[in-house]
Structure 1
Amino acid sequence: MTRDGLFACIDAGAGAVVAKSVNESAAARRQLDIADYAFVSPGGAVRPPGAARLGDGLLNRSGLAQVDLDEWLAVLSDGVAHGAPRGCPVIGSITLGEPSAAARIGRAMATVVPAVELNIGAPHGREAHAVRQLTEVDAVGEAVRTVRDAVDVPLFVKLPGQASDVVALARAARSAGADAVGLVGRYPGFLPDLDGGAVLGSWGAWSAPGCLPMSLYWVSKTRLALGPGVPLIGTNGARTADDVLRFLASGASAVEVVTALWIEGPGVIAELVAGLEGLDLAEFVGSALAGAREYAEVPPVRPPAWLPYTARLRSSGR
């Protein structure tokens, strides 16, 4: 969200940096004033500030960058200039409000950045009217087409994870002109604190290592449906190098990481990149799909996997 933050991620060795989103809404910027973050242990305890661990879940409220567009374009331009000699592109991002306004912002961004992300999967769109989360095919197609017509650089479209058919949304985004598809945004969340209230005192957005298989479900299904020619960007659940590898094996060509940076700082990027050393990406991306079968194709398990559980229940008298 700041020039220094962009520089820190570039210098840490990121392959690319997606800057904080903006949109046309003053209300979306004001929402940053109520931003709050709770890191939750696997056992459900909220960590004290500064004590978060990579295995924690994150429940939060957030808002958009509190800057005018011209000022933000200057920050992006400085980021692009800093990243270019290091081989690290800086990508501008728009969280959808109104498609026509997103097109106007995207047109301006395209004058300073090499690519634009259109985020139509913001989980806060279910709580804050200043941003929108699109879960219907026609709405996705219309929004992407509107922004695509205004942007003359590559357009990445980030989709929600909570929709009846994310693959259909990806197909609609691609048909409307998306160059790459991001899968998936964080999930809406709510967590009682068991003292008569709720963590953060509100609903929020949730991400955790446990979200990883859910994100990989949509990455893998989209890879199979759209084929290897459509670049997919995996997100939501990657904290470690092994997590990054699982996204790639599921069909993602790139992986976005943010929570790990909040917990351990930009230096964690170097650890993630080191975990990919020596990897033949052309062979590895999507490699897990060769061994994955539809349910109807799975042969009977011998002995049936449920037998040990039945025996355990019988021995306990249940």
Structure 2
Amino acid sequence: MDVAGLATANPVWVGSSELTMTLDGLLACIDAGAGAVVAKSVNESAAARRQLDIADYAFVSWDGRVRPPGAARPGDGLLNRSGLAQVDLDHWLGTLATAVARGAPRDCPVLGSITLGDPAAAARIGRAMAAVVPAVELNIGAPHGREARAVRQLTEVDGVGEAVRTVRDAVDVPLFVKLPGQASDVVALARAARSAGADAVGLVGRYPGFLPDLDGGAVLGSWGAWSSPGCLPMSLYWVSKAFSALDVPLVGTNGARSAADVLRFLASGARAVEVVTALWVGGPAVIGAMVAGVAKYLAGRDFDEFVGSAVAGTREYAEVSPLPAPAWLPYTARWTSSGR
């Protein structure tokens, strides 16, 4: 299969995170069977690298219990504060080149990633990356952009178009653009990115988050970025809407913890799915389980026909026929029968 001309062994990709910040981490994901691996983001800002010194992570259960990383469980959400890779660009390019060489025979491309600071600087970094990686991801949806001055989250069409165009002009390999989920019209952002030269669009970045600890403070002691299984329908909303409106390859992210979740992304219109938090919880072995589960389900099915298959029969509200009985009736009946 391919995504925007990028050959990949399967649609289960590993997204950019601290887990892909070292050569060992990159190789572990490749060896575990990932279809592609997105390396940890970099940019030109020393402040963005220093922010990694205050990185912290809290896993939150469905009933609000907070657990440290070593005690995380599969259904937990992740609230974190993060920064960018603390590496010299030349050294990082060498790391990327080594990982690319490991992944190429397995059809596991390794993508370089840039979290936007200054567009002109991102273009310079992208040009250097394009000499060693088969594709570059430009992340303009980083949730930390609302809190950290060293990175930016773009939520307006003009800003997206300008940033993508600037990097596109400098990069001669496929350009993947990752967008935020918290914007008035994410489809409009995707259209702007495509028009400015994006070869594929990633939907969607994690959401800003905040959680009081009820002991006089906040979990992590600050705001952060949030992802959980509960984010899945929200991410699939924008993937399905973009699939319906645009002709652009989509990469889904934010909410996939299992093979079934990956399949839901594909059925909503994504051609590949980036996973991160599932690896924080279960380690690289999670990748193999997801790949096997997806392959088993898709065996005998046409991949291209499956992509977006759930969208074809989905109707606008105005097109939905009245139900035989009001769906709300059983709920209100319980109140009536209790004498309220």
Superposed, 1:122-137 pairs within 5 Å as: 122-137=142-157
Do the aligned residues in 1 keep the contact of 2:115 with 2:140 (CA within 8 Å)?
yes
Equivalent runs, 1:164-183 vs 2, <5 Å: 164-183=184-203
Q: Quick one: distance in 2 between partners of 1:49 and 1:58?
A: 9
Q: How far, CA to CA, are the matches of 2:70 and 2:144 in structure 1?
A: 24
Q: Which amino acid aligns with 2:305?
A: E
Out of 272, 275, 278, the residue aligned to residue 260 of structure 1 is 278
Report the count of equivalent residues. Answer: 316
Q: Match for residue 326 of structure 2? A: 304
1:294 maps to 2:316: yes
RCO higher in structure (CA 8 A, sep ≥6): 2
1:271 corresponds to which of 286, 289, 292: 289
SS at match of 1:17: strand
> Matched residue of 1:275: which SS?
helix
What residue number does 2:181 align with?
A: 161
Structure 1 outlier segments of 4+, above 2 Å: none
Which 5+ residue runs of structure 2 have no aligned equivalent? 1-20
Distance 2:246 2:105 in 1: 34
Contact conserved, 2:162 with 2:196, CA < 8 A, in 1? yes
Q: Which residue of structure 2 lines up, in the alignment, with residue 52 of structure 1?
A: 72
Question: Aligned-pair RMSD on alpha carbons?
Answer: 0.8
| Code of the aligned partner of 1:141 | G
The aligned residue for residue 233 of structure 2 is 213
Q: Map Cα deviations across residues 164-185 of structure 1 (whole Å, 9 max, x no partner).
A: 0000000000000000000000
TM-score by length of 2: 0.92
Deviation string, structure 1 residues 136-193 (Cα, Å, up to 9, x no partner):
0000000000000000000000000000000000000000000000000000000001
Distance 2:279 2:334 in 1: 43
Determine the C-alpha separation between the residues in 1 that align with 2:156 and 2:304: 33
Aligned: 1:236 with 2:272: no
Task: Provide closer, same or farther for how the CA distance between residues 48 and 20 of structure 1 changes in structure 2, counting only shifts above 3 A.
Answer: closer
Q: Counterparts of 1:86 and 1:303 in 2: how far apart (Å)?
A: 54
Matching residue within 135, 138, 141 for 2:161: 141
Q: Residue 201 of structure 1 corresponds to which residue in structure 2?
A: 221
SS of aligned partner of 2:126: helix
Query: Which residue type is aligned with residue 328 of structure 2?
Result: W
How far 1:316 moved relative to its partner? 2.1
Asked if residue 152 in structure 1 is aligned to residue 152 in structure 2, the reply is: no
Which structure 1 residue ranges, 5 or more long, are not aligned? none
Residue of structure 1 in register with 2:4 after alignment:
none
| 2:127 matches 1:117 | no
Q: 2:240 and 2:166 mapped to 1: Cα distance? A: 28
Partner of 2:10: none
Structure 1 residue 269 displacement after superposition: 0.5
Corresponding residue to 2:266 among 248, 269, 275: 248
Aligned-pair CA distance for 1:7: 0.4
**Corresponding residue SS for 2:70:** coil
Alignment of 1:22-41 (within 5 A): 22-41=42-61
TM-score of the aligned structures, taking structure 1 as reference length: 0.98
Letter in 2 for 1:109: M
Task: Tell me how far apart the structure 2 counterparts of residues 283 and 49 of structure 1 sit (CA, whole Å).
Answer: 39
Q: Give the secondary structure class of the aligned counterpart of 1:163.
A: coil
User: Within 5 A, what are the aligned runs for 1:27-106?
Assistant: 27-106=47-126
Residue deviations 1:36-79, cap 9 Å, x none?
A: 00000000000244111111000000000000110110110111
